């Protein structure tokens, strides 16, 4: 036991002294939260433009439809003058080059056709491949459609017809999602980052203690010491788990702080990701650390060099994230039998947490037991692999 | 005392060690001599218990390696081919780490490491990280590390490799001192002149077999008029011819 702790302490100390490793260990956990902040802020600002901001749209032929332009103005859509736009081709070019998101072109015959039984024509020049522009285009289109409908209704009334003739169907949508459950969709990605940070936190040590130690030739003298190989490798895995948990704590802390700064309410989501949630999420993810450490150590002990191990482990990092991707594609709900799958069970439980729904104790129990059991199995495998003579390379 | 009885070891189709037997007595320096690839390192790796022989047996201080490898490791100090120090630890920490893994209590450990640092004149490098050590400094620390638990038996795999003249002389002095303390020292080398001055007993090994054994004086007597190097070259050629 004391040999195990001696090994664990030495591995922790040695890694602490390696500046490059330490920096990546500290910066790694920040990657997720920063990416997250950027994405959410972009989503928020894009959604908000369509509501509050004045949308400036170049209108070609504004003089043919003063009423339409006035209607748009009332909806915060301001026409701007651009003398470069003389015809549809020029408008198309300016949209294609990205100068404008959308240009409204009013037909010369608009004034003549308007009020007759011929439909007056307007054109929206847009680039559908630009997602960024979608909300602005949608807003302008909605306003133009609104004008069209309003005029249509007025004409029906003027002719003595019931306007409801034009609306044989009324569709009501009842959105039962709560702000918390809406945020779960986006914050579901959070578990992915958490699992990833946990694994990468132990990546260096898992490789260093097996392939790395062999490559630096320090393994052979170590194996001549009167210490069971199982103590050595379990001590090394314990150190790996320590770094993984440290990485997880850092990531959780960074997320907790980052989510507080985000205007989640403005896009109809709420975040209950406070200290208590973070602590619970940590507890739920804890059993995953030994599993990941054992998996990475077992894989790394097959390889000959640090570099080779790194290549293999990059793929191994993807394995635990696979169930998450399937889960989000299929939109899976928590179920008892799914709790037997490590990483998926943690994902589902943490998503439940974020949705502000109560955790089912039996689900948590299955998740913890199955994850620890698989971790134990892989740990046993890692010990077996470490006992082989081939470990010396 | 180290006793080796007919050990063999194959790696795939390669028979690295083929029925090797010899004895290394206490209070003597025994040299395992042979060309590169003769099986010296494999022999020492079997004796240091990191490899298991396919056949044969070996005892260190009367302890059978196969039956009680952990007990055997307690009476063995090993200086492997590469020193394999931990780069981020200081010289002292490298020695202490092994001391702790040998189960030496903290209070005794400090005194023991101090004594080794003084005897091996490591004061200047003890508190520096192993990262920047020269080959000679690495070997010194690795030797101190191998001696931290005061072992009766010492295995050294080509210990003078990469050392300059002064460092080599120092190493020889220490090995003679250890012999004087009654320890059993077994070292390997591929350079005849090097062991000539140092060893009491020669075990010449080629193509995985022992081809010649005896003290330098005995060998000189058995092959009069020939230098040790000539004897060595002939023994190796003979073994390689019969193996081919």
- Nearest Cα of chain A lies from the Cα of B229 at a distance, in angstroms, of 32
pLDDT of residue A189 exceeding 90, the answer is no
**Per-residue confidence at B180, pLDDT binned at 50, 70, 90?**
very high
The tally of domains found in chain B comes to: 2
- Which chain B residues have a beta carbon less than 8 Å from that of A219? 84
Chain B residues at the A interface, defined by Cβ less than 8 Å, are 45, 48-52, 70-71, 73-74, 76, 78-89, 97-98, 100-103, 129, 142, 145-146
- Nearest Cα of chain A lies from the Cα of B239 at a distance, in angstroms, of 28
Of B78, B84, B145, the CB nearest to A217: B84
Average pLDDT rounded to a whole number, residues A279-289:
94
Alpha carbon distance A143, A334 (integer Å): 42
| Upper half-sphere CA count for residue B131 (Cβ side, 13 Å) | 7
**Are A258 and A40 spatial neighbours (Cβ–Cβ below 8 Å)?**
no
DSSP H/E element including B18: strand B14-24
Cβ-based burial of A304 (10 A; exposed 0-12, middle 13-18, buried ≥19):
exposed
Q: What is the pLDDT of residue A249?
A: 94
The tally of domains found in chain A comes to: 2
Task: For B11-67, write each residue's pLDDT tens digit.
Answer: 988 899 999 999 999 999 999 998 888 899 999 999 999 999 999 999 999 999 999
Q: What is the pLDDT of residue B6?
A: 94
Same domain membership, residue A230 and residue A141: no
CA B2 to chain centre: 12
For residue B222, give both structure tokens: 């058995």
**Are B140 and B164 spatial neighbours (Cβ–Cβ below 8 Å)?**
no
Average pLDDT rounded to a whole number, residues A205-221:
90
CATH number, residue A112: 3.40.1710
Same domain membership, residue B232 and residue B157: yes
Pick from A136, A166, A196: which residue ends a domain? A166
State the average pLDDT for chain A: 84
* Structural domain containing residue B137: 85-150
Higher pLDDT, B74 or A323: B74
Whether residue A171 is contained in a domain is answered as: no
Whether residue A68 is contained in a domain is answered as: yes
Contact: B70, A219; criterion CB under 8 Å: no
Same domain membership, residue A154 and residue A210: no
Total residues belonging to chain B: 244
Same domain membership, residue A157 and residue A290: no
Helix spans in A208-287 (H)? 213-215, 219-223, 229-261, 275-285
Pick from B107, B122, B150: which residue ends a domain? B150
Q: What is the pLDDT of residue A12?
A: 92
Whether residue B172 is contained in a domain is answered as: yes
Q: What is the pLDDT of residue A128?
A: 82
ipTM value for the complex = 0.92
Q: What is the pLDDT of residue A357?
A: 83
Alpha carbon distance B212, B204 (integer Å): 5
Same domain membership, residue B157 and residue B51: yes
For residue B204, which phi and psi values (nearest 5 degrees)? -90, 130
Same domain membership, residue B136 and residue B40: no
Same domain membership, residue A89 and residue A141: yes
Same domain membership, residue A374 and residue A296: yes
Pick from B117, B150, B183: which residue ends a domain? B150
Average pLDDT rounded to a whole number, residues A233-255:
93
Same domain membership, residue B174 and residue B207: yes
**Are B184 and B2 spatial neighbours (Cβ–Cβ below 8 Å)?**
yes
**Per-residue confidence at A324, pLDDT binned at 50, 70, 90?**
confident
Same domain membership, residue A140 and residue A221: no
Same domain membership, residue B169 and residue B141: no
When scoring B44, B84, B143, B153 by the number of chain A Cβ atoms within 10 A, the one with the most, hence best to mutate, is B84
Q: What is the pLDDT of residue A378?
A: 95
- Which chain B residues have a beta carbon less than 8 Å from that of A227? 70, 101
Average pLDDT rounded to a whole number, residues A289-308:
91
Average pLDDT rounded to a whole number, residues A181-188:
62
| Upper half-sphere CA count for residue B85 (Cβ side, 13 Å) | 30
Nearest to A236 by CA among A67, A15, A59, A18: A15
* Structural domain containing residue A340: 2-44+177-392
Same domain membership, residue B144 and residue B89: yes
Same domain membership, residue A293 and residue A199: yes
Q: What is the pLDDT of residue A186?
A: 65
Task: For B78-117, write each residue's pLDDT tens digit.
Answer: 999 888 899 999 999 999 999 999 999 999 999 999 999 9
Higher pLDDT, A40 or A230: A230
**Are A313 and A210 spatial neighbours (Cβ–Cβ below 8 Å)?**
no
When scoring A205, A221, A392 by the number of chain B Cβ atoms within 10 A, the one with the most, hence best to mutate, is A221
Task: For A13-68, write each residue's pLDDT tens digit.
Answer: 999 998 888 887 777 788 778 887 787 777 666 655 555 678 888 888 888 888 88
Same domain membership, residue B199 and residue B226: yes
Helix spans in A301-331 (H)? 306-318, 322-330
Taking CA–CA distances from A232, the nearest residue in chain B reads B101
Higher pLDDT, B8 or A269: B8
Q: What is the pLDDT of residue A318?
A: 84
Q: What is the pLDDT of residue B160?
A: 86
Contact: B89, A216; criterion CB under 8 Å: no
Same domain membership, residue A37 and residue A7: yes
Any idea of the CA torsion for B1, B7, B10, B15, to the nearest 10 degrees? 110
- Which chain A residues have a beta carbon less than 8 Å from that of B142? 221
Same domain membership, residue A360 and residue A264: yes
Same domain membership, residue A246 and residue A373: yes
Same domain membership, residue B230 and residue B158: yes
- Which chain B residues have a beta carbon less than 8 Å from that of A391? none
Alpha carbon distance A367, A357 (integer Å): 17
Q: Which residue is associated with the tokens 């191994």? A: A316
Whether residue B204 is contained in a domain is answered as: yes
Whether residue A172 is contained in a domain is answered as: no
Pick from A107, A132, A166: which residue ends a domain? A166
Same domain membership, residue B231 and residue B171: yes
Look at residue B8 and give its three-state secondary structure.
strand
pLDDT of residue A365 exceeding 60, the answer is yes
Please give the share of chain A, as a percent, with pLDDT higher than 90: 27
What are the beta bridge partners of residue B204? B33, B212
Look at residue A122 and give its three-state secondary structure.
strand
When scoring B50, B139, B153 by the number of chain A Cβ atoms within 10 A, the one with the most, hence best to mutate, is B50
Whether residue B95 is contained in a domain is answered as: yes
Sign of CA dihedral B82, B85, B88, B90: negative
Pick from B98, B119, B150: which residue ends a domain? B150
Same domain membership, residue A320 and residue A208: yes
Residues 6+ apart with CB under 8 A from B27: B179, B180, B182, B183, B184
- Nearest Cα of chain A lies from the Cα of B160 at a distance, in angstroms, of 17
Of B52, B102, B145, the CB nearest to A226: B102
pTM of the model: 0.78
Contact: A226, B73; criterion CB under 8 Å: yes
**Are A363 and A218 spatial neighbours (Cβ–Cβ below 8 Å)?**
no
Alpha carbon distance A150, A144 (integer Å): 10
Average pLDDT rounded to a whole number, residues B201-225:
89
DSSP H/E element including B209: strand B209-214
Q: What is the pLDDT of residue A152?
A: 85
Pick from A124, A146, A166: which residue ends a domain? A166
**Are A57 and A140 spatial neighbours (Cβ–Cβ below 8 Å)?**
yes
Task: For B126-173, write each residue's pLDDT tens digit.
Answer: 999 999 999 889 999 999 999 999 999 999 999 988 788 888 888 899
Cβ-based burial of A12 (10 A; exposed 0-12, middle 13-18, buried ≥19):
middle
- Three-state helix/strand/coil letters over A11-40: HHHHHHHCHHHHHHHHHHHHHHHHHHHHHH
Same domain membership, residue B166 and residue B56: yes
- Which chain B residues have a beta carbon less than 8 Å from that of A216? 84, 87
DSSP H/E element including B189: strand B184-189
Q: Which residue is associated with the tokens 């931290």? A: B148
Same domain membership, residue A124 and residue A28: no
CATH number, residue B216: 3.40.50.300
Same domain membership, residue B104 and residue B46: no
Same domain membership, residue B30 and residue B110: no
Alpha carbon distance A32, A197 (integer Å): 8
Whether residue B226 is contained in a domain is answered as: yes
Q: How many CB atoms lie within 10 A of CB B220?
A: 15
Please give the share of chain A, as a percent, with pLDDT higher than 70: 90
When scoring B42, B73, B80 by the number of chain A Cβ atoms within 10 A, the one with the most, hence best to mutate, is B80
Contact: A224, B89; criterion CB under 8 Å: no
Whether residue B80 is contained in a domain is answered as: no
Sign of CA dihedral A34, A39, A45, A48: negative
Angle between the A361-387 and A344-354 helix axes, to the nearest 10 degrees?
150
């Amino acid at each position: 036991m004391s040999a195990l702790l001696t090994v664990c302490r030495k591995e922790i100390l040695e890694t602490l002294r390696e500046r490059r490793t330490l920096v990546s260990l500290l910066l790694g956990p920040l990657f997720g939260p920063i990416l997250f902040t950027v994405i959410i802020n972009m989503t928020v600002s894009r959604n908000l433009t369509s509501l509050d901001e004045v949308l400036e749209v170049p209108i070609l032929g504004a003089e043919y439809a003063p009423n339409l332009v006035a209607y748009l103005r009332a909806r915060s859509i301001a026409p701007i003058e651009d003398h470069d736009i003389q015809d549809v081709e020029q408008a198309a070019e300016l949209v294609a080059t990205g100068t404008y998101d959308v240009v409204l072109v009013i037909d010369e015959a608009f004034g003549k056709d308007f009020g007759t039984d011929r439909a007056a024509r307007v054109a929206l020049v847009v680039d559908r491949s630009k997602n960024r522009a979608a909300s602005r285009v949608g807003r302008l289109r909605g306003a133009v459609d609104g004008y069209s409908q309003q005029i249509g209704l007025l004409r029906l009334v003027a002719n003595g017809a019931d306007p409801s003739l034009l609306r044989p169907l009324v569709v009501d949508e009842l959105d039962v999602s709560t702000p918390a459950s809406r945020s779960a969709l986006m914050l579901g990605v959070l578990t992915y980052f958490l699992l990833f940070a946990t694994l990468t936190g132990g990546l260096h040590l898992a490789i260093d203690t097996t392939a790395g130690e062999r490559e630096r030739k320090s393994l052979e003298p170590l194996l001549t010491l009167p210490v069971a190989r199982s103590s050595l490798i379990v001590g090394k895995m314990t150190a790996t788990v320590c770094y993984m948990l440290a990485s997880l704590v850092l990531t959780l802390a960074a997320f907790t702080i980052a989510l507080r700064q985000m205007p989640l309410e403005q896009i109809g989501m709420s975040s209950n990701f406070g200290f208590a949630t973070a602590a619970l999420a940590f507890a739920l993810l804890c059993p995953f650390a030994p599993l990941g450490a054992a998996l990475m150590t077992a894989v790394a002990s097959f390889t000959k060099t640090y570099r080779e191990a790194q290549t293999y482990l990059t793929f191994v990092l993807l394995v635990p994230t696979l169930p998450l991707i399937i889960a989000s594609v299929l939109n899976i709900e928590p179920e008892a039998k799914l709790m037997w799958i490590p990483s998926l069970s943690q994902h589902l439980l943490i998503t439940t947490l974020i949705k502000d729904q109560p955790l089912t104790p039996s689900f948590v129990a299955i998740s913890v037991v199955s994850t620890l059991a698989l971790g134990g199995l892989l740990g046993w495998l890692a010990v077996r692999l470490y006992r082989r003579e081939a470990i010396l390379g | 005392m180290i006793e080796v009885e007919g050990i063999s070891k194959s790696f795939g189709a390669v028979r690295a060690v083929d029925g090797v037997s010899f004895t290394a007595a206490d209070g003597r320096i025994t040299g395992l001599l042979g060309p590169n690839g003769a099986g010296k390192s494999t022999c020492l790796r079997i004796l240091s218990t990191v490899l298991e022989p396919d056949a044969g047996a070996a005892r260190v201080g009367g302890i059978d390696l196969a039956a009680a490898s952990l007990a055997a490791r307690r009476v063995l100090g090993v200086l492997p081919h590469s020193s394999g120090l931990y780069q981020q630890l200081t010289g002292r920490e490298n020695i202490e780490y092994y001391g702790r893994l040998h189960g030496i209590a903290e209070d005794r450990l400090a005194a023991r490491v101090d004594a080794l640092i003084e005897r091996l004149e490591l004061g200047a490098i003890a508190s520096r990280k192993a990262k920047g050590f020269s080959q000679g400094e690495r070997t010194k620390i690795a030797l101190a590390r191998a001696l931290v638990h005061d072992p009766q038996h010492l295995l050294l795999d080509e210990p003078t490799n990469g050392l300059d003249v002064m460092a080599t002389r120092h190493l020889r002095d220490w090995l003679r001192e250890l012999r004087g303390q009654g320890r059993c020292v077994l070292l390997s080398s591929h350079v005849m002149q090097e062991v000539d001055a140092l060893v009491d007993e020669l075990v010449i090994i080629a193509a995985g077999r022992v081809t010649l054994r005896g003290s330098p004086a005995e060998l000189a007597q058995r092959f009069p008029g020939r230098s040790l190097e000539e004897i060595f070259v002939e023994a190796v050629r003979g073994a390689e011819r019969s193996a081919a």
